[in-house]
């Protein structure tokens, strides 16, 4: 190889290393940005309830909160988030033993928060958000909530954990906090579906058809409560083109406030 050829090769190699380093720094910065915002928001985190073990019946226990004497303000942090951070904020989702511990929004469309944080700033991790078609009070048959599958498993990245049968069996539920209501999620199905799956992403559906479809296509499954409403947590999957991970749970009313 000539001297000029070696110089060109070295130059290209150095450029590639610099570009890779830049991309790594950029990705690292994105994770730092998401983590910093999450830490800032934790001061608004609702008082957590104690979930039962997998072998116990799911039920919501009383929330230990400074505002117990005034039940109408049992979840004042949600109101504070709306007033001080973003009026689109609807509630807070917590799933034990995962990184899923975030406020979520009820947007006007399904695009705005894909790459924006709660302050409206550009953010690769985006924001956890409800499908804009869904009622913010979770009165629809199927309420859908979306989040990105980040490579560091933040946002909805930990939904993939429920693909492991043991984890699915030992982690039966999560909690949704609204201003005036606390709900327990009782997970009953883990699935890998296409982004355009017309049954899974229906807001309203014939119940027997819906639950029959889920049972026939779920990878991990336990019997649901068909008389109760459903919440579908959705994130990207890289198993095949345009694949999605979905974790479905029954929405069980908790403590009305």
Least confident of 24-28, 180-184, 200-204: 24-28
Percent of the chain residues past pLDDT 70, beyond the cut: 77
When pLDDT is averaged across residues 8-27 and rounded to a whole number, the result is: 42
Number of domains in the chain: 1
Can you tell me whether residue 145 is helix, strand or coil? Answer: strand
Q: Residue 202: which of 137, 129, 141 has the closest Cα?
A: 141
Evaluate if residue 78 carries a pLDDT over 60: yes
Q: 229: domain CATH number?
A: 2.40.260.10
Asked whether residue 24 carries a pLDDT value surpassing 50, the answer given is no
Residue 149's domain comprises: 3-256
Confidence band, pLDDT 50/70/90 cuts, at residue 23: very low
CA distance 128 to 146: 6
Is 253's pLDDT higher than 90?
no
State the DSSP string of 161-198. GGGSHHHHHH--EEEEE-SSEEEEEEEEEEEEEETT-T
Question: What is the pLDDT, as a whole number, of residue 75?
Answer: 84
pLDDT category at 1 given cuts 50, 70, 90 is: low
CA distance 175 to 239: 28
Percentage of the chain exceeding pLDDT 90: 73
The residues, ordered by sequence, that sit 6+ positions from 203 with a Cβ below 8 Å of its Cβ are: 131, 133, 134, 140, 141, 142, 143, 144
Residue 31 binned pLDDT confidence (cut-offs 50, 70, 90): confident
């Amino acid at each position: 190889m000539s001297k000029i050829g070696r110089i060109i090769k070295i130059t290209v190699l150095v450029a590639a290393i610099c570009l890779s380093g830049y991309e790594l720094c950029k990705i690292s910065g994105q994770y730092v940005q998401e983590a910093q915002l999450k830490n800032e928001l934790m001061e608004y985190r609702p008082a957590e309830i104690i979930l039962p073990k997998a072998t116990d019946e799911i039920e919501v226990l009383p929330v230990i909160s400074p505002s117990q004497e005034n039940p109408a303000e049992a979840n004042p942090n949600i109101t504070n988030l709306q007033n001080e951070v973003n009026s689109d904020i609807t509630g807070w989702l917590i799933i034990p033993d995962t990184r899923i511990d975030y406020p979520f929004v009820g947007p006007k469309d399904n695009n705005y928060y894909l790459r924006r944080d709660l302050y409206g700033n550009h953010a690769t991790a985006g924001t956890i958000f409800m499908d804009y078609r869904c009622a913010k009070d979770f009165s629809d048959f199927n309420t859908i909530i979306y989040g990105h599958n980040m490579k560091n498993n933040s946002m909805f990245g930990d939904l993939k954990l429920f693909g492991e049968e043991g984890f699915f069996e030992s982690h039966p539920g999560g909690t949704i906090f609204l201003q005036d209501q606390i709900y327990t999620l009782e997970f009953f199905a883990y699935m890998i579906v296409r982004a355009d799956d017309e049954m899974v992403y229906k807001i309203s559906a014939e119940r027997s058809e819906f639950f029959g479809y889920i049972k026939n296509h779920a990878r991990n499954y336990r019997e649901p409560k068909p008389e109760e409403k459903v919440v579908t947590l959705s994130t990207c999957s890289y198993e095949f083109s345009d694949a999605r991970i979905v974790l479905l749970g029954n929405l069980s009313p908790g403590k009305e406030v």
